[in-house]
Structure 1
């Protein structure tokens, strides 16, 4: 099938590469020439395990190409095929000042599609967008076609992505479900044809209305965020009673009605989806007169949870951390990604530096991103980023673990203890074994752990 993907960011690049892997002819476009130059030279602008191999194979087999702008992309992908061109909009929907989704890039893409379209097409919203966005996109495309006095058949569908950073390739090739939002039978047939090669059971292909599909994405992320915030609240109760949240989590998760996923206590969720989508859903609810009591609670608990590590550090070491050196392991919001958007490490490091501490931090892949996020702290000498985990802990007064990278779990504890000035570890992800840590002589503090 002939496919145009608008946006070579995280969602767009993964979508383009994976669709091209199934011998579809895919053109991926972007407005950033520097990003496209990197892609043309074989460089992947984001860290995602397995993505480079998929992109390289698709480019090598001539199923995937990159172009600057929608006009060039449509010129390349449109053909005399009787099938409509599938145009995926996969641009960013950043958070507006009021927490709602900013649709300027989505609507700009729709506008240009309408200006450049020459053949029948199905425009597909892959970006996470509020309920009713498909109607806005359809109106924008239709208006541009009207201005051009062109009568080209097109439709707009919703096809939200459910990609976990760090596991996006597997998620795309082995999806739990693929949601297709359309009321048009021709669109449905084309979308099913596109996605059948990705599922072993057609029941995984869920066709619903457009607005239903738009809401499914927000509701899914908000539910997962709710589970995390719920367990973090339980962890705080565990702290007060001196009981182990991991035992509680296991007991709760064994209930088949609940299950164990997303019930791990920690120092708050981050990333490009959960914080933004919960707040956007709050605004969606408010816009139709629904008071989002649960969603507001989820967000409030997460903001509070991001203070958890700092509060425990100052409770142990005092509010004035002047002259103290704190090591931080992990900067990305989760392992297997370099994404630091809304990462808990940001709140912690800025709070530590404000309290007077000298911070030395390590992350296996997020150093380059961190150099931008913390440019001010690095410039004024409050924060140092290092290339090796043990280099961060050398002569540190304490270690705070923020991201649960595998290499931290297998660290040599004897060497760690010898490296630290004081054998104090604050584990914000319950990543380390508290019994083993204490056997090695560490003062260990997890989240909701005895």
Structure 2
């Protein structure tokens, strides 16, 4: 009965999120409270087991860092500098934004990357009088695709890396980066084709861009130097966290607190806290609780176990089904709880005599990360971009996003399937025949 309640509450909440008649954060929180009222789990379970406070705290910390840095005009400066480097040409700008986002998401985590890039792009599209939607869309797609390439790029990869000791940073890079490059380039070309009529600039705006001086937007003050110093230290901490053995959340919180302390006389902390995207954070909390209901009643676990039943322990079948189920499922709910439920299931395949489970881990990583592009709630980066865009008056429609997101996910999974077959499954079958 509880499973039926959790499924019904989740589906109804998801429907209201899609319809966008009520604020997404209110819908998610209401659905979460209904889970509690239905007795699916307790408040203690929700706070201790299902809400990912690491993600919430990381987002909050980066929002604080971005909020303070934004007051220096640094993002406007970078936006204008970037626009002048590409001569204000929308297509060139589109390509550069996609490449930088993908690279940033591979080296940092994708949430941090979009937090840094989105304010820049929103300022830039405003200066050039360009529609922001295509650029926000390519940022989301590039962040999720680029984050697939490395161990630290996307939360599912971090979880897999922590569960499987022999899968190192280099392992992720050598196994996933080649196909990520192919998917990224293919997606970029496809998006350029789809938005070919939109990516055109007014000649007057191009002339205006050349006449503007980026230095005029930069407020050279102690606040600027403090902000950039702490921001650089935080990013360096993210890059060095495998060496420092300090988790990303601790690094982000330390950076935010340090900047707040250093700028206490320049910026009122109360003002900074008011500018935090609270609706985005509460939407995440509600979403975690909603998905937690499916987790608590065993719905996600049963989906994962169903893979074993269908494939009967056959590695090639299992790898492809894990790829597609994780890809499609991650477009509906956040991929973190699905990966958490699937990891122990994959480990059970050792009982079927599978000694080399690596193809299954790569299938899960590819499916969960690439599938995040399916909807606005498919990945953390998507929700963050939508929240920042909404605060700038550039809201992204749930259905409009899915119109592009679902085809991109299917397109990406088809390419990933061919890669899995050629690199892992055919050699396995040939070895088993010998």
Richer in helix (by share)? 2
TM-score by length of 2: 0.25
Q: Which has the larger radius of gyration?
A: 1
TM-score (norm 1): 0.24
User: In proportion to residue count, which structure has more strand?
Assistant: 1
